[in-house]
Structure 1
Amino acid sequence: MQADFVYEPVFDGAGMQLSVSVLADRDAIRDQMRCDAEAAGFRVLECCGLDEFGSGSGSALGDLILVDCADADAGAMALLSRLDMRAGKSGAQLVVSTTMDALDAVFGCFAMSGAQILVEPGRADRIIAIGRVLAHVPNLRLRELAEEDRLMLLRLTEQVGSIAQRLEGLSSQVDAGQREGGGAFRLESPAQGWHAQGDEYVVDNSKAAPRLPDGALIRKLIRQRQARSQFFDAELFADPAWDILLDLAAARAERRQVCVTSLCIAAGVPATTALRWIAQMVDADLLVRIPDPHDRRRAHIALADATADAMARYFAAIGIGEACELAAA
């Protein structure tokens, strides 16, 4: 099957055509990715299975690396970690597709390269990912693009731009709140909140930072939000950023770690979309990526301190906090 979009060949600053490495064990998907990369203007440098590429000594990498990894076995994870390191150093672009079952292991392999991770994607999802790579190529000339794909790329561009704009504003608000009131989980010396009377010191606790409410209260709020889907179309209320923040706030209150698969489910949108939100929120310093101390190939996601502070103040402002906990007790 021929791709229904065609680009002029893409070149680097030295006039060399950009190359692609296609790595996949599933034959049909490997052939599909190769076809789409060639149609996008890339020269195929390598097209083989993961084991075959991993066994090669010093195999060259393309400017774009398309990987399909459905199984999280040790050999594949070691190869993905090496690809992440090499791409991070060389500046190559990585697009990795995987399954929901393997997502946690695959996600933990990528910390340096800024890889696009797609979860059980269709062909259109892969084409869009290639389009995002091409968007960073200067002086690219588009010769032909089907109207359906044109609209899809336009919507993606608008979505990514909207995510970045919204999170930039949210990050600024969080930073402002942090500067004003201090962290929710930070012990601070009473530099401005006390005054001396002789040899006695009186501490002013009127502006003490609130704590996050009990995790059970936040979980109840999450269940109430989810109940709307029983009566209305769930897409009407899709708000992945807020659902991610709520789930992580509950986890922080419960002193529990959250894996990326669990967080994608909590976001209430397709996993690939959720990963896009998570990546943008990490870039905006709203979330932090925490390597698993027991398995360096895995990673967890958590609220940044300033974000936790902002969430605690939000809950206090709407009356969900210690007062509710005392009333429940």
Structure 2
Amino acid sequence: MKHDAQIEPMLDEHGRPAVFAPLCRSIIKARATSTATFGSLCSDPGSEMLLDLYWRESQGLKTSLTSLWLASKASEMTGRRCLAVMEEQNIVERMPDPSDGRRVNVRFTSEGRKKMDACFSALLLGYAETCRDCACSCNDGPTSQDCKPLE
């Protein structure tokens, strides 16, 4: 039995694929490198769960509780506590798996998806400002006209 049953891939309000999925995947890879380098010093089970859930939904994959616990890279109890907080904040919701009555899946609420998109948007804006500031501080960077503060 295949546990990664397909769901509808995440689409934005205009029906386009989730624009932040590639950024999400890059963050997951960078966090994996940090964890491999520094071990538990970089542990953040809740963030790991949110990123994994976002990525899986963007790819049209269901996410079971077991998959979410594994994504947390922590104990099941820690994963359960993180999930409880996410549910209290209306970020995610549980739903029974129609193909297997023993399994429970987790998905973002519309509010949770909006919050994740807002976080990714803020992250990209921060990266853009940082790149622009670095370019402006270089001797052969953009002209001073291009280095005005972003609005």
TM bucket (normalised to shorter chain) is 0.5 to 0.7
Deviation, 1:289, is 0.4
Instruction: Quote how far apart the aligned CAs of 1:211 are.
Output: 7.2
Q: Distance in 1 between matches of 2:66 and 2:22?
A: 21
Evaluate the alpha carbon distance shift between residue 212 and residue 314 of structure 1 in structure 2; reply closer, same or farther with a 3 A threshold: farther
- Higher RCO (CA < 8 A, seq sep 6+): 2
CA distance in 2, matches of 1:241, 1:186: 26
The alignment's TM-score, normalised by the length of structure 1, stands at 0.32
The answer for the alignment partner of 1:267 in structure 2 is 72
Compared CA separation, residues 250 and 256, structure 1 to 2 (3 A): same
CA distance in 2, matches of 1:247, 1:271: 16
Q: Is the 8 A contact 2:20 2:117 kept in 1?
A: no
Q: Contact 1:286–1:307 at 8 Å: present in 2 too?
A: yes
Q: Does 1:277 align with 2:58?
A: no
What's the offset of the Cα at 1:291?
Answer: 1.2
- Residue ranges of structure 2 left out of the alignment (5+ in a row): 4-10, 126-151
AA of the residue aligned to 2:101: R
Give the whole-Å Cα distance in 2 for the aligned partners of 1:239 and 1:291.
27
* Distance across 1 between alignment mates of 2:52 and 2:19: 13
Separation (CA, whole Å) in 2 of partners of 1:221 and 1:276: 23
1:287 partnered with 2:100 = no
From the two aligned structures, give the one with the greater helix fraction: 2
Q: Tell whether 2:32 aligns with 1:226.
A: yes
Tell me the amino acid that sits aligned with residue 275 of structure 1.
R
Alpha-carbon distance in 1 for matches of 2:101, 2:43? 33
- CA displacement at 1:272 relative to structure 2: 1.9
Change (3 A) 1:211 1:294: closer
Superposed counterparts of 1:161-200, under 5 Å: 185-186=12-13
SS of the equivalent of 1:319 reads helix
How far residue 242 of structure 1 moved from its aligned partner, in angstroms, is: 1.2
The count of corresponding residues between Structure 1 and Structure 2 is 115
In structure 2, how many angstroms separate the alpha carbons of the residues matched to 1:313 and 1:281?
A: 16
Deviation readout 1:231-270 (Å, 9 max, x if unpaired): 21x2212211111111111112112111111111111211
Alpha-carbon distance in structure 1 between the residues aligned to 2:97 and 2:36: 36
Alpha-carbon distance in 1 for matches of 2:76, 2:114: 27
Q: Following superposition of structure 1 onto structure 2, how do residues 1-329 of structure 1 map, counting pairs within 5 Å? A: 185-186=12-13, 212-213=18-19, 215-232=21-38, 234-319=39-124
Alpha-carbon offset, residue 294 of structure 1? 1.7
Between Structure 1 and Structure 2, whose CA radius of gyration is higher? 1
Q: Secondary structure at the match of 1:291?
A: strand
Summarize the Cα distance change of 1:230–1:297 in structure 2 as closer, same or farther, 3 Å threshold. Answer: closer
- Consecutive unaligned residues in structure 1, runs of 5 or more: 1-103, 105-183, 188-209, 321-329
2:138 is matched with none
The Cα of 1:214 is off from its aligned counterpart by: 5.2
CA contact (8 A) 1:214 1:254 kept: no
* Cα separation, partners in 2 of 1:285 and 1:301, compared to 1, 3 Å: same
Q: Which amino acid aligns with 1:255?
A: G
SS in structure 1 at match of 2:105: strand
One-letter amino acid of the structure 1 residue matched with residue 114 of structure 2: D
8 Å CA contact 2:24, 2:51 repeated in 1 = yes
Deviations 1:200-232 (A, max 9, x none): xxxxxxxxxx97335344222101111112221
Percent identity of equivalent pairs: 26
Q: Provide the C-alpha distance between the structure 1 equivalents of 2:48 and 2:109, rounded to a whole number of angstroms.
A: 16
